[in-house]
Structure 1
Amino acid sequence: MTQSPPMWRFSVADELCGAEGNLSAAKDYLSREKFPPRAQEFMEREREAVSMW
């Protein structure tokens, strides 16, 4: 499972790399998923199974 880094790391990396705000701006496009991708597929299958009852 891949996790996104804590948001404060973007500003630190931006400063260390001299990215002039480009890395810090990227954090606006990232958000944590409520559930990992494998859980999403499981919930879809479960919804299908329940609908068959």
Structure 2
Amino acid sequence: MSMDDGRWTMDDGRWTMDDGRWTMDDGRWTMDDGRWTMDDGRWTIKICLFLIQLKT
């Protein structure tokens, strides 16, 4: 998946998916089994949905 500007792609390694887990290349946050987590644990559903839209 990619956008025309190339910002979000599977190829450049910025986003990876393995068995349903999304990870960012710096490892700060992941989504696993539908649960978003961040170092400070303050993800909200709006943020989750927004990021999911960016990736699709």
Q: Output the TM-score relative to the length of structure 2.
A: 0.29
| Structure number having the greater strand percentage | 2
> Which protein, 1 or 2, shows the higher relative CO under an 8 Å CA cutoff with sep ≥ 6?
1
| Structure number having the greater helix percentage | 1
